[in-house]
Amino acid sequence: MSIYDSLGGEQVLRVVVDDLASRLENDLLLGPVFRDVDLDALHRHRVSYLAAVLGGPEQYLGQSMRDAHRSLALTDAHMDRFLQLSAASLAAADVAPEPARAVLELLDRLRPVIVTPGPTDPRRPASES
């Protein structure tokens, strides 16, 4: 069974993404990142991307995660907060612990393409700067 199916399929995924969108937009750290973003388009991309990577029926046709996030200069602190809010959204949707953990692990594996490494980023070896 795919993570998508164990999560609860499209209906639950949409609940999680709706909740996450609200949390992100209202968050003190991450909210400003979305100030000049087309939130409706971003929401569609989130649903499509997550459905595809979680093993659902959709194909993701948007930008790569690296290209989509490159200009945002996101740090590990941003990614950590995103994961915290994602966990809260999964919990709010009553997603069982195992699929929730799988979703969070998958999202955290995106860290190297979402976070912009820099010399002040203590989680990155100097050779990656």
Q: What pLDDT, in 10s, does the model give residues 8-28?
A: 999 999 999 999 999 999 999
Single pTM value for the model: 0.84
Domains of the chain: 3-117 (1.10.490.10)
C-alpha dist (Å) from residue 105 to 31, 37, 51, 98, 112 = 23, 26, 15, 11, 13
**Other CB atoms within 10 A of residue 102 CB:** 17
Roughly what angle, to the nearest 10 degrees, separates helices 9-26 and 76-92? 130
Mean pLDDT of all residues in 110-125: 70
User: How far is it, in rounded angstroms, from Cα 73 to Cα 68?
Assistant: 11
Q: How confident is the prediction for the chain on average, in pLDDT?
A: 86
